[in-house]
Structure 1
Amino acid sequence: MLNGLNHITIAVSDVSRSFDFYVNRLGFTPKAKWAGGAYLSLGNLWLCLSADSVATREDYTHYAFSIRSEDFDVYVKKLKSSGITEWKINKSEGKSIYFLDPDGHKLEIHDGNLDSRLRACIKHPYEKMEFF
């Protein structure tokens, strides 16, 4: 029986560049690095950067990372000053910034959680939304 998320692997075109981005801009903790990849952590999240050809997609698939509300504004200011590219403007509950990593992977920093999202959706449900 499944019991949670094990890890996320992201294809990257330049391991050193992506390692620098995730460690020095986003604050991941480096665990290991080699010619073809790197292992990083953020809380309980295990992230693998794997050297590969990268094909960006035009859908809504993205990876969201949590942040405390009181840290959000300072963190976003730091990100923006580093030259990140935003790919979407937040229109949902809580504070979010949507931006791209060096290979165009869609990322989000969000200060809410599933409970806060569901509370907001109960007040303003999406079209044909059903709750369980």
Structure 2
Amino acid sequence: MAKQLAVSGLDHAAFVVRDLAESKRWYEKMFGFTALDPNAGPASPYIGNATTRLALLEANEERAYITPANQGPRACHIAFGANAETFLAYQSQLTDAGTKYEMLVHSDCQSIYFSDPDGYLLEVTTYEIDKLG
């Protein structure tokens, strides 16, 4: 049997977005992400932080924008991990912003599901359920 290969982690997730500048602003505000290659200018698709990278690819003639709404509930999403304190802060931030979200308690974690401006489903999850109060 061949040796099982293991990846080191999620390198990046890529979303096709309607408006690159608008999406970058939203991710900067919601998650505190910044441009990962500031020298590349505003057309650079990569945004994130030291541990998380997103490639936001603007729709064009060669790259169609397909609405995520027809993919089914929670079928396709990106999950970001958080400690309990940060998890609760995201819940407050979403509430304060008037953003609709869904809370789910799983067997080993608790999650908040919400959508970005293009309708992509995002999740913030914590395994520190005992610290949520």
**Given the two structures, how large is their TM-score scaled by the length of structure 2?**
0.71
Inter-partner Cα distance in structure 1 for 2:109 and 2:25: 28
Q: Residues 28-65 of structure 1, C-alpha deviation per residue, up to 9 Å, x if partnerless?
A: 22224534x53112332221100011321225221110
Task: Count how many residue pairs are aligned between Structure 1 and Structure 2.
Answer: 112
Q: Distance in 1 between matches of 2:48 and 2:30?
A: 14
Gaps of 5+ in 1: 117-132
Is residue 103 of structure 2 the alignment partner of residue 89 of structure 1?
A: yes
Matched AA of 2:57: S
Q: Distance in 2 between matches of 1:112 and 1:42?
A: 21
What is the TM-score normalised by the length of structure 1?
A: 0.71
1:106-132 alpha-carbon deviations (Å, 9 max, x no partner): 00001128xx9xxxxxxxxxxxxxxxx
Does structure 1 conserve the Cα–Cα contact (< 8 Å) formed by 2:20 and 2:56? yes
Q: Distance in 2 between matches of 1:82 and 1:20?
A: 14
Q: Which residue of 2 aligns with 1:9?
A: 14
SS of the residue aligned with 1:107? strand
Residue 78 (str. 1) matches residue 82 (str. 2): no
How far did residue 2 of structure 1 move? 5.5
Moved over 4 A (4+): none
Computed over aligned residues only, the root mean square deviation of the Cα atoms, in angstroms, reads 2.3
Aligned residue among 108, 124, 128 for 1:109: 124
Q: Alignment partner of 1:75: what SS?
A: helix
State the one-letter code of the partner of 2:66. Answer: V
Q: Which amino acid aligns with 2:113?
A: Y
SS in 1 for 2:45: strand
How has the CA–CA distance of structure 1 residues 111 and 43 changed in structure 2, closer, same or farther, with 3 Å as cutoff?
Answer: farther
* Residue 124 (structure 1) aligns with: none
